[in-house]
Chains A and B, each alone.
Chain A
Amino acid sequence: MPPHPDLCPFLSPRRPLPLPIRHHQQSPRPPPLLPHQGVIAAPEGSNVEDDQIFLDQDSHLGVFLRCCILAFNMLTFEGVCHLLTNLAAYCNSTDSAYELAEGDDFGNETEMLDSLDTDMDLRTAVFGKCTHEFQSEAHPGESSSLTFPAQNLLYGSAEDNYLREEDNIGVLRSKWQVEGYLNMQADYLEKDASSFPLNSFNAVLTQLQKLAPEFHRARYLQYLNALHHDDYVAALDNLHGYFDCSAGMEGLFTRSSSPRSDILVGRYETALLCLGTMHSHFGHSKKALEALTEAVRVSQQNNDDSCLAFTLAAICNLLSEIGISSRIEIIGSPFSLGTSTGLGTPLSTQQQLLVLLKRSLKRADSQKLTSLLAFNHLALAKFDLKHVKRPLLSFGPKASTKLRTCPIEVCKELRLSSHVLTEFGSDGLSLLSDNGVFSTSWTKNLAAVNNLWLADAIKSKCSSVNDFDIFQFLAQPSPVPRSVLQLAGSSYLLRATAWEHYGSAPLVRMNALVYATCFADAASSSELSLAYMKLIQQLACFKGYSEAFGALKLAEEKFPSVSKSRIQLLKLQLLHERSLHRGHLKFAQQVCDEFGVLASCVSGVDMELKTEASLRHARTLLASNQFSQAAAVANSLFCTCYKYNMQVENATVLLLLAEIHKKSGNTVLGLPYALASLSFCKSFNFNLLEASATLTLAELWLSLGPSHARRALSLVHRTLPMILGHGGLELRARANIAVAKCHLSDPMFSIFKDPSIVLDPLSQAAEELQILEYHEMAAEAFYLMAMVYSKIGMLGKREEAAASFKKHVCALENPRDEEDSLAYMF
């Protein structure tokens, strides 16, 4: 762009504008700006005349001035008058707002001023290229907001909502800023789609597109918007539109930490990849696989390695998330891994997944795609958590293979995946160049600073302000992209999940808390709600329902309810468990039905939800003593789990079957189920479930007669450290009661020797069950207590226990506050 003819009058005002260079204000004669060697001017010729001032047009200051000029050109007559008045006022100012520029105390606030000006240049920079259509939108008075005193107004409107683009649209924005804005919106969309009203945001985007057709990215955002609002047709349409217009030349992965040049070239394959992810988002696994397989083929053809790596990762994600029946051959001919390993033996889906994961990992590693690497490590950890690795080779020397999962591998993978944050930027590949990423957050921060600064300036003009204290370093926009933070955070979430399975309550809580504390700013709402869910589940498990419901209320406020959201699921879970404990079976059944409705009807989708629904159904039936129905539901559930290779659920269902037989009195029938569940748990290292299976086993032995009491006791003792340390209130209480029962039914045991051996666990169990409002078992505990007291002749205590027993039995028989929970639910 040629230097603007109007440059000179602007550059030599008598009173300089509050420009960032303090020498202008402080030295009696401001040293002029000189053109010298590009951007940076050497100071040698500082004695040149004022009118010779030149400024590089691409420097920050130059951009700022150019934008001032543009704005000036756009001014209406009223605007010019306004500006003139303001200028005059500024020159003769005694106004406190202008004092800062000339007072002796100026030096103290220089930094502030600097930052303000930085902001000005970012905020108001305008390229000539910037579309003229903006002009038509501009209100007459608004251009004058470019002058200094009006800055605050601008901040005010910018800081509170990113959606109010239209409020600021009168202010000219550079392409750079619009890009930054769009990137940011994309981030916000992924973080929390529910805060974006579908239509109004669409309107903003459409307007933007109309004004600046070359911003294809707006189209992409429309796609994202539709995607996150589950609008399939619009999403598909916009995705097609985006790739039609941009031909994929505009990168999608600009903000990923991968080297830009590699991915920008993604064309058809990128489109296919996006299509595939979209389909899998909507749960159309077959279509998704088709698209992704095609993407693999095309990227192989085009030697697009990074796209291939991403596509492989997408396939892995799809395979691991969507339940695929082991009988169905899912991956078609272009992709038959079974033959590509050259063994001729068909591999199971799981093995195919593993091979794919390994391959994708290798690719990501060789391409130095750090984010993808982290993603793959996470996926591998997820895989290792629930799968026993079997050697792929079916021949050769048989190494002694232990059919167990390998938690150490999980731990290693998780550690590797969290390196994505610490290693960020270390490879030198992920350096960001100027792309306006922070322009929005800057204004937000500076608005806060500005207020502070003004307040401070009024209070004490001379106090030297250490601005480092005012705005914390950590509150500043971070160069680490959100996607990297999200990946690093997911590692902690997965850790929490892993420890739920392996059984370490403190680590579940710790990891969930790390996530909720350190990654809340970057986390998407679904992941953050998962962390909250884990925390609330822990509360319900260890502190009882009243605290859990209190926390749930808070979470509901934080995450506005979307159907099928985690928080809603959690609410149903809590309600179901509480009503089972309180004995409100009708209500429990109602909640169960709600559960069933939530799941999609397509087979293979929402498998977790479906299994949980029928598991809860079986539990409800068990609680209402309908044993055969419960067993039937559990059996069919077992078949489904087996079909879909869901081993974890298998163990749970087997344990449930054992429970059903235990309660129905078929002890001998229950034993094999308990043992099977136990061996499942052992090979998957699910220690907590193992402990509860062992406890069930002990209870089964105990019900076989007093001669087995010692065996039962030693079984319970073996699991006690596990149960007491990591089990919830219910499990702990069960174990304590089991200990007491074992002692009491042991013929060798004499109660008179040391009654506390029995009474201590019983009272502890009673205490815990009361917190849980588990009337049935609390009654049992009090019954046993009363019997013991009666035997050792402590009649007063006996009466007390008996009264409590009666209270709980009554509560069980006439459920009172059912309406209460119903009201909470609807």
Chain B
Amino acid sequence: MVQFFYMMWSLSLQNGRLLKSIKSHDAAVVCMNWEEDVLATMPSDDDHILTYEDRTVRFFPPAPRIPRMPGLVSGDTDLMDDSEDAIHDLSGAPCQRFNILCSGDKNGFICFSIFGIFPVGKINIQQLHLCTKFSRKETTYQLLNASINKVSLSKNLCQLVVLSFGELVEFGKSSCCDDLSVGLHCVLLDTSIFQSRKNELHQVAQQASSIEDLIEVVRTSISVMSKQWSDAMNLFHEKFGSLSALIVDHGLDSSPQDEFLSLLFGARTSPALHQFLVSSLGEAGLKRVSRAVDNAGKELRVVLNEHLQPAVEIAGFRIGELRGLSRWRARFQSMGLEEKLIDNVTEKAGMLLIQIERFSRVLAIVLYQFQNFFNWVLKCIKILLSEPTDQVQPTNSELVVLFIKFLLDNDPIKELFEVNHRIDVDMETKQQVEQLVVLGGFTDMKFLERTLACEFNQLEQCLKEAFLMPFTTISAKILCRDLLPVYSISTSPVSQLPPTSISYYKLQDEVNCAFQSCMPLHSLVDYICFKVPDESFGLTNCIGIIRGFTSNSRFINKEAASPAAVLLRIPDEYECVDLSLYKDNQIILLLNEAFSNSESPGKSWMVMIQTGDLCFLSLSNLEHDFYKLHDLKASMVDMHLENGKIRFIPHCVTKPLAVSASRGVACVFSSRRHALVYILDEDEDEVSDME
């Protein structure tokens, strides 16, 4: 069994730069829908005018970016720069409208992410309880082996229409023998939490995704520093390691430590040490090592001062803001922001700050020690070579002793980068930490024994835990409202999914009044358009359109607003490749020549038809068949191409068809791998052709 791992790349819409990679799906993503909240500017009651302020921009300079990994070629860095910029654009934009990206995959999972980067929910359509009334009897169904075909979030973010292939069975029952139950089903999900807690979600998502960005900065900083330092130390050990080999060669039984100490105390140099200093290391070699350590130190300082420390500080601030939000139980508890968990994170962030301070101190000391030691060795070399030593900087011999004893064979900086190392803390500090608990310090008194890297991992873990709560809480709040089986297919493993499309239109006049009288804000009605597979209704070359499926639940008593549908038959000479709903009540159909012979190149047509011209029949009046659309077979309408706007394409085209309502263009792919872009609103055949 091959498992698909699909990485979702979120792209910023304006400039198409890579923002962030999130792995939220395990299977191939089939469809996506990115919906922006349109109601942001509309007036509503007082509470909703209130937007939360992100104070971070007021108090901190722009957040630090991910430090550059040393040794990258320039080509790579360009890419990184861009992504950093983009992340900044995103997190730095406080006025950004609230938007949600939904994506559905082959295994029936639907993911929701705010701003396309912060996951807030994930549901599996297969495990959803689908309650609906068939034959006046309330039954709970379940979709087995379902895969998502299309998702569409309404403009007000309250509802999600999902088209899904699967086997519809009563809940709890295993796969039913009834062939008819397998097919395309239309499910309406209630996502009103996205609307009702819009401001809160916006705020939390903004803080949380910024925190995650900062965490990424911290992670990279630590790994960059670790790498830089270990490179420098490798060089140092490589150079100074030759001393022990020399000692063995000379048949001495001592260690480099002893040799250096005896040199320091002014007694003597053994032949081994002499050879090491004068020939194998030499002044040039020493200067090289010294420069390497010095440069590494500089780099580490820069990363520490400009990336790591600011990132943790800002993250601490943002976590504090989140904690404030989490205490507003009336608003934020319902979306799963748990005060306890955020408190934990706050503690960990504080500890990380202390770890960083300790690290910077160790770093300063170690670097200074190295400098002092190298100066001393340089002086010794000069003396051995009878060169003047007045150019050498003064050294402190006490520090040289410390260096030889503690740093020659050990590397405290490296240890702080290790995850599993335990650091010994002296009694005095331990007592101090214990005292601080009484003063409101961290109750976890062992934190100084952990390393920087370990502390960071714990913080990350806590953050994950804290952000999982909203994720699961919101996921649990997304429930099924309605179910409409569309058609059944006998051949269950659907290799090539028949095309479908969902869109929301402004209401046409005749129905408009019915809606607008009671709910002016939701004056949009949904249209679901799909191609009917030839075998399912016993019809060929047919497409179906359902209108107002979602309105059923809103206006349960109003006949006028109940869902209605129509079936259209396409003339036999054409074959429907793909279809899409477009702009104001139009449908774009992409048709291929049905009987193309191999000699002549294929021909295609793009047809735009007005839905307003079609005659919809209300579904609620129909006898309750499981598949209500069956009843419409009788009233099927023949489509006349002359009625619509037709555009001729001199190639054979393939799926998919993409239309953009806002730009008024359609893009089709010819079988020769050309992408053709059509401007839909103009009459002339303007085609731009792209390879």
- Which residues of A does B touch, CB under 8 Å? 19-23, 26, 31, 33-34, 37-43, 55-56, 58-62, 107, 110-111, 114-115, 117-118, 121-122, 407-408, 411-412, 415, 418-419, 421-426, 428, 431-435, 437-439, 442, 467-469, 472-480, 485, 492, 502, 504-507, 509-511, 513-514, 516-518, 520-521, 532, 535-536, 538-539, 543, 547, 550-551, 554-555, 558, 685, 687, 710, 713-714, 717-718, 720-722, 724-726, 757, 760-761, 764
B320 near A514 (CB under 8 angstroms)?
no
Q: Contacts A480-B365, A718-B50 known; list 12 others, CB within 8 Å.
A: A111-B257, A407-B59, A408-B60, A415-B305, A479-B372, A521-B428, A550-B438, A710-B46, A721-B52, A725-B324, A725-B327, A764-B329
Assess whether A505 is in contact with B410, with CB atoms less than 8 Å apart: no
Once the chains are docked, how many angstroms separate the CA of A467 from the CA of B429?
Answer: 19
B346 within 8 A of A: yes
Contacts of A520 in B (CB 8 A): 432
> B residues within 8 A CB of A469?
424
Q: Does B371 contact A (CB under 8 A)?
A: yes
Q: Are A40 and B384 in touch, CB under 8 angstroms?
A: yes
Residues of A within 8 A of B330 (CB): 757, 760-761
Please tell me if the beta carbons of B436 and A513 are within 8 angstroms of each other in the complex: yes
B residues in contact with A34, CB < 8 Å: 268
- State whether B258 touches A110 (Cβ < 8 A): yes
Q: A473-B406, A717-B50 are in contact. Are A513 and B350 (CB under 8 A)?
A: yes
Residues of B within 8 A of A412 (CB): 61
A31 contacts B268, CB within 8 Å? Answer: yes
Asked whether, in the complex, the Cβ of A479 is within 8 Å of the Cβ of B325, the reply is: no
Contact B364 A480 (CB under 8 A): yes
The answer to the question of B367 belonging to the interface, with a C-beta cut-off of 8 Å to chain A, is yes
Q: How distant is the Cα of A412 from the Cα of B64 in the complex, in angstroms?
A: 12
CA separation between A717 and B199, bound complex, in Å? 13
Contacts of B317 in A (CB 8 A): 504, 506-507
B contact residues around A504 at 8 Å (CB): 317, 320-321
Question: Which chain B residues in 38-61 approach chain A with CB under 8 Å?
Answer: 46-47, 49-50, 52, 55, 58-61
Measured in the bound complex, the distance between the Cα atoms of B405 and A442 in whole Å is: 13
A551 pairs with B46, CB closer than 8 A:
no
Q: What is the minimal beta-carbon distance from A47 to any residue of chain B, in angstroms?
A: 13
Choose the segment among B228-236, B439-447, B557-565, B661-669 that binds chain A (4+ C-beta atoms closer than 8 Å).
B439-447
Q: Within 8 Å of chain A (Cβ to Cβ): is B310?
A: yes
**Given A468-B410, A725-B321, A408:B61 Cβ within 8 A:** yes
Residues in B with CB closer than 8 Å to A550 are: 438
Stretch at the interface among B259-267, B474-482, B487-495, B519-527: B259-267
Contacts of A518 in B (CB 8 A): 354, 357-358, 361
Q: Which of B58, B266, B305, B396 contacts A62 (CB 8 A)?
A: B266
A41–B375 contact, CB under 8 A? no
The answer for the CA separation of A411 and B254 in the assembled complex, in Å, is 53
Which chain B residue has the least Cβ–Cβ distance from A117? Answer: B265
Q: How many residues of B contact A (CB 8 A)?
A: 100
- The chain B residue with its CB closest to the CB of A495 is B313
- Please determine whether B46 and A714 come into contact, CB atoms closer than 8 angstroms: yes
Q: With contacts A21-B265, A476-B406 known, is A685 near B58, CB below 8 A?
A: yes
A531 to B648, CA, bound (A): 79
Q: Which residues of A contact B362 (CB under 8 A)?
A: 473-474
Cβ–Cβ < 8 Å partners of A425 in chain B: 364, 367-368, 371
Do the beta carbons of B396 and A479 come within 8 Å of each other? yes
Are A39 and B329 in contact, CB atoms less than 8 angstroms apart?
Answer: no
Q: Are B267 and A407 in contact (CB under 8 A)?
A: no
Task: Please name all residues of chain A whose beta carbon is closer than 8 Å to the beta carbon of B368 when the two chains form the complex.
Answer: 424-425, 479-480
Whether A510 contacts B350 by the Cβ 8 Å rule is yes
Q: Which residues of B contact A535 (CB under 8 A)?
A: 436, 439-441
B412 CB-CB contact with A under 8 Å: yes
- B325 to chain A: closest CB distance in Å? 6
A37 and B441 contact, CB distance less than 8 A:
no
- Tell me how far the C-beta of B60 lies from the nearest C-beta in chain A, rounded to whole angstroms: 6
Min CB–CB distance A145 → chain B (angstroms): 22
A687 to B55, Cβ gap below 8 A? yes
B586 to chain A minimum Cβ distance, whole angstroms, is: 43
B511 to chain A, nearest CB (A): 33
Q: Which 3 pairs between the two chains have the least Cβ-Cβ distance?
A: A725-B324, A59-B266, A433-B394
State in angstroms the CA–CA spacing of A36 and B440 once bound together.
Answer: 62
Inter-chain contact B439/A472, CB cutoff 8 Å: no
Shortest distance between the CB of B58 and any CB in chain A (Å): 6
Chain B residue nearest to A714 (CB atoms) is B46
* Pair B258/A114 contact, Cβ less than 8 Å: yes
- Per DSSP, are chain B's interface residues mostly helix, strand or loop, or mixed? helix
Whether, in the assembled complex, B503 has its beta carbon less than 8 Å from a beta carbon of chain A, the answer is no
Q: Is the CB of B369 within 8 A of A532?
A: no
Q: How far apart are B427's CB and chain A's nearest CB, in angstroms?
A: 9
Q: Which of A419, A432, A536, A725 contacts B320 (CB 8 A)?
A: A725
Least Cβ–Cβ distance between B238 and chain A, in angstroms: 21
Mark the stretch among B6-14, B269-277, B620-628, B676-684 that contacts chain A: B269-277
Q: Which residue of A lies closest to B61 (CB)?
A: A408
- A111 B268 Cβ-Cβ under 8 A: no
Per the bound structure, the CA–CA distance linking A543 and B440 in Å amounts to 9
CB-contact partner of A43 in B55, B268, B365, B398, under 8 A: B268
Query: Please, which residues of chain B bring their CB within 8 A of the CB of A39?
Result: 266, 383
* A725 pairs with B393, CB closer than 8 A: no
- Interchain CB contact under 8 A, B258 and A40: no
The chain A residue sitting closest to B264, CB to CB, is A60
CB–CB A21/B262 < 8 A: yes
Asked if A26 and B371 make an inter-chain contact with CB atoms under 8 angstroms apart, the answer reads no
In angstroms, Cα B50 to Cα A718, docked, is 7
Nearest neighbor of A711 in chain B, beta-carbon distance: B46
Task: Assess whether B320 is in contact with A505, with CB atoms less than 8 Å apart.
Answer: yes
> Which B residues from 9 to 52 make CB contacts under 8 A with A?
46-47, 49-50, 52
The yes or no answer to B249 lying at the interface (CB within 8 A) is: no
Name the residue of chain A whose CB is nearest to the CB of B366: A473
Nearest CB of chain A from residue B410's CB, rounded to whole Å: 5
A754, chain B: closest CB distance, angstroms: 10
Q: Are B396 and A434 in contact (CB under 8 A)?
A: yes
Known: A472-B425, A507-B316. A426 touches B298 (CB 8 A): yes
The distance from the CB of B271 to the nearest CB of chain A, in whole angstroms, is 5
Contact A507:B320 (CB < 8 A) given known A20-B267, A434-B398: yes
Known contacts A421-B360, A428-B371, A475-B426; decide if A714 and B50 are in contact (CB<8 Å). yes
Q: Which residues of B contact A538 (CB under 8 A)?
A: 440
Tell yes or no: B180 within 8 A of A by CB. Answer: no
Mark contacts of B341-362 with chain A using CB atoms, 8 A cut-off: 1 yes-contact digit, 0 otherwise: 0000010011001100110111
Is the pair B405, A506 in contact by a Cβ cutoff of 8 Å? no
Q: Known interface pairs A422-B304, A685-B58. Does A61 touch B327 (Cβ–Cβ under 8 Å)?
A: no
**Contact present for A539 and B61 (CB under 8 Å):** no
**Cβ-defined contact, B402 with A513, below 8 A:** no
The answer to whether the Cβ of B301 comes within 8 Å of any Cβ in the partner chain is yes
Find chain A residues with CB under 8 A from B274 CB. Answer: 42-43
A764: chain B residues at CB < 8 Å are 329
- The closest CB in chain A to the CB of B398 belongs to A438
> Which residues in A have their C-beta under 8 angstroms from that of B329?
760, 764
* Complex Cα gap A437–B439 (Å): 34
- Which single residue of chain B is at the shortest CB-CB distance from A502? B59
Most B Cβ at <10 Å: residue of A20, A37, A39, A516: A39
Q: Is B79 part of the contact surface with A, judged by Cβ < 8 Å?
A: no
Roughly how many angstroms separate A505 CA and B323 CA in the complex, as a whole number? 10
B267 touches A724 (CB 8 A): no
A287 to chain B, nearest CB (A): 39
A42 to B52, CA, bound (A): 75
Judged by a CB distance under 8 angstroms, whether B93 is at the interface is no
* B3 touches A (CB below 8 Å): no
**Docked CA distance A535–B386 (Å):** 59
Interchain CB contact under 8 A, A536 and B439 = yes
- Among A432, A505, A713, which residue has its beta carbon within 8 angstroms of that of B399? A432
Q: Which residues of B contact A38 (CB under 8 A)?
A: 383
Interchain Cβ contacts under 8 Å between A and B, 13 examples: A121-B265, A411-B59, A415-B309, A421-B361, A431-B395, A437-B398, A442-B398, A479-B396, A502-B59, A710-B46, A714-B49, A725-B327, A760-B330
